Amino acid sequence: MAKMAASMVGSGEDAFRKIFKFYKRRNPPPDLSDVLDFSKAVPSDTVVLAELDPAAVSDVEAARVGLKPVRDWRAFGLQGYPGFIFISNPFLLGCQPFWVRQCLKTYPQKPNICNLDMHMSPSDTEDIWGKSIHALSCPPSGKREPQTLLEKLRWVTLGYHYNWDTKMYSANHYTPFPADLHLLSSQIAAACGFPGFKAEAGILNYYRPNSSLGIHVDESELDHSRPLLSFSFGQSAVFLLGGTVRQDPPTAMYMHSGDVMVMSGQSRLLYHAVPCIIPPPQEHTTLDMAGCSLASSLQDSTVMEQVSKQDWTVCSRYIQSSRVNMTVRQVLGPGQSLPETPACHERTDEDQTVGCHDRESGKRKRSSGCDSVDTIET
C-alpha cells in the first residue's frame, strides 16, 4: 500500500471507499503521485517482473492479433497480489486502431446487447456507428451538438450476456463470442500460463471524461480458476485493486491505452474499481494510433483488417476524450453448465436502469442512462 493511502485510513473502516472517493474528487483534483505507472520506471520494492511463457504463443500467432512477440512484453506482478499480471501495452505499433474500431463499430452491433437497448427500440439501436459518424466526423462547432448514440454508449455485452439485475449468466442468453477477440484473449491467457482459455463472455465499458466504475468483484462466472482479462484503449484511467474485504486499502495504478491486465489465482476475486479517467501523459497522446496501417508482412495471416481513414477519423475523435475497456471471461469450467432462465421481462418505459447496486456488498450497478458508466455510493 502506498504511503499516502496508509496515512488516510483508520483501522476497521471501509478503506477502499475512502480511497475511491479521494481519486474521484474533482475539485481540488487528487494528488496522483502515489499512482503506479507501469509505463515508467517501477518501484522495485512493490513491483516484480511477471513470468510469462513465451513458447505458448509463436511470434506469428501473436502478430496475427496485433501483439508483439511475448518475449518483448513488459509484464509485472505486484507484491501482495498473487495472480495479478499487468502487461504494459503489448500491442505492435499501428495495431491498436483495429481493436478500437472493433469496440466502437463492430462489437456494439446486433446480436450483441448494449445499454441503449434497454430504453430504445431494436431499429433505433441497429446501426449505432452509422447513425453517429456524420456528427463525429465533423470538427466540433462552437455550440454543443446533441450527443450521438456512440457517445451515449455505456456498455456492450458479448457471448453469455451478463444480466445486471440477477448478476447471473444464463444458458439461453447467449450469442456467438467474436472470433477475433477470442483469439486475442486466448493468446494473452496462454502466455500468462492459462492454455485453453475459452472467451465466453465479454463486457465492454465506455467511459466519458466524468465516468467512474464503482467498487465491485467479478464473481458471476462459475469457474474462478480461469483468469479475467482486461484491455484498455483511449484515455488513461486510475485503477484501484483492493483485497477480499473493503477494509483492505487498494493500490492505485494507471491504465493507459493498450495495457492489458490479468486477474487470476488469488487476485481473481479481489475488489476493484475505476474512480477517474484522465488524459494520457504527453508521450502517450500520439501513441501508435497515428500509424493505423498494418505491417504489410502481416496482411495475409492477420485476423485484423486495415482501418480506413474515415473510420479512424471517427475513432480518434471519440478516444480523444473517452476510454474503452473490454473485460473477457471464461464462464464455465469442464462439466459445468448454466441454468436456463425465463425469457427477459418486457421492457417498460420506466426501465432506465439495469442492474442494481448492492450497497452492503459493493457489487456493481449499471446505468442505461448517459451520465456515468457506473456509480458508487455517495
Instruction: Give the interface with ligand SIN as residue ranges (CB under 6 A).
Output: 203, 205, 213, 230, 232, 237, 239, 255, 272, 274, 325, 327
Q: How far is the CB of 160 from ligand SIN (least distance, A)?
A: 15
Q: Which residues pair with 160 in a beta bridge?
A: 174
C-alpha cell at 359: 450497497
Torsion-angle region of residue 55: left (phi > 0), alpha (psi -120 to 50) or beta? alpha
Cβ pair 366, 355 in contact under 8 A: yes
- In terms of CB distance, is 316 or 325 closer to ligand SIN? 325
Q: How far is the CB of 44 from ligand SIN (least distance, A)?
A: 25
Angle between helices 309-319 and 128-137 (to 10 degrees): 80
Q: How far is the CB of 337 from ligand SIN (least distance, A)?
A: 24
Rg (CA), the chain: 20
Q: How far is the CB of 68 from ligand SIN (least distance, A)?
A: 21
- In terms of CB distance, is 232 or 322 closer to ligand SIN? 232
Alpha-carbon span 28 to 221, nearest angstrom: 39
Sign of CA dihedral 38, 43, 45, 46: negative
- In terms of CB distance, is 96 or 302 closer to ligand SIN? 96
The secondary element (H helix, E strand) that includes residue 311 is helix 309-319
Q: How far is the CB of 60 from ligand SIN (least distance, A)?
A: 29
Find the Cα–Cα–Cα–Cα dihedral 49, 186, 205, 106, rounded to 10°: 140
Q: How far is the CB of 135 from ligand SIN (least distance, A)?
A: 26
- In terms of CB distance, is 203 or 332 closer to ligand SIN? 203
Q: How many CA atoms lie within 13 A of 146 on its CB side?
A: 3
Q: How far is the CB of 209 from ligand SIN (least distance, A)?
A: 14
- Give the CB-nearest residue to ligand SIN: 325
Residue 116: closest CA among 105, 102, 106, 127 = 127
Three-state DSSP class for residue 160: strand
Q: How far is the CB of 67 from ligand SIN (least distance, A)?
A: 19
With a CB cutoff of 8 Å and minimum separation 6, the contacts of 312 are: 97, 101, 289, 292
Three-state DSSP class for residue 317: helix
Would you say how long the chain is, in residues? Answer: 378
